[in-house]
């Protein structure tokens, strides 16, 4: 089923949304674009949208943060007379916005991984310089360790992560 949803969303037959906002709409809407099968989760915060609804939500521009709606269309004020005497004051430089880096760490149970992906990752993507690392630890019986390692290497290779993630 997950593969079919990926196919339908990629072809624009359905949309996929997550992060429902209280005022309506969603934080993330995927429609007529490639999606990863990891984006498809079967939980309460993820919605499969009909084509018309997905197209409408994708076409609606997101309001810019700190924006104040539509610009004023009233008459512009006429400029006053220019001063003739004295040097012009130098304008004060506008304070440059500072960036703050957040680091999130801790142990997460396997039961909440999907929710972590649908709730936190879209929020993190709104920033810049996003780096995500992983650190898994599991104990396996000695006689199963070799086949387990082989399976892990195959999974990482299938995901295109063989060169990025090492197994110790």
Separation in Å, CA 163 to CA 110, 137, 166 = 24, 19, 7
If phi over 0 gives left and psi between -120 and 50 gives alpha, with beta otherwise, what is residue 44?
alpha
More confident residue, 96 or 48: 48
Q: Please enumerate in sequence order all residues whose Cβ is within 8 A of that of 54, keeping only pairs 6 or more positions apart, or say none.
A: 14, 15, 16, 17, 29, 31, 32
Query: pLDDT (tens digit, 9 = 90+) per residue, 34-84?
Result: 887 777 888 888 888 999 988 888 886 554 444 444 444 444 444 444 444
Query: pLDDT (tens digit, 9 = 90+) per residue, 115-137?
Result: 777 778 877 877 888 888 888 88
């Amino acid at each position: 089923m997950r593969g079919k949803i990926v196919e339908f969303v990629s072809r624009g037959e359905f949309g996929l949304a997550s992060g429902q906002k209280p005022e309506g709409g969603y934080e993330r809407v995927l429609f007529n674009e490639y999606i990863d099968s990891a984006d498809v989760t079967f939980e309460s915060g993820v919605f499969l949208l009909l084509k018309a609804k997905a197209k409408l939500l994708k076409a609606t521009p997101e309001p810019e943060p700190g924006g104040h709606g539509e610009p004023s269309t009233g008459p512009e004020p006429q400029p006053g007379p220019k001063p003739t005497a004295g040097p012009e004051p130098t304008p004060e430089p506008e304070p440059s916005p500072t960036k703050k880096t957040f680091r999130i760490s801790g142990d997460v149970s396997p039961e909440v991984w999907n929710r972590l992906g649908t709730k936190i990752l879209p929020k993190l993507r709104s920033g810049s310089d996003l780096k995500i690392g992983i650190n898994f630890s599991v104990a396996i019986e000695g006689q199963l360790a070799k086949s387990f390692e082989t399976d892990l290497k195959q999974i990482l290779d299938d995901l295109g992560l063989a060169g990025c993630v090492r197994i110790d």
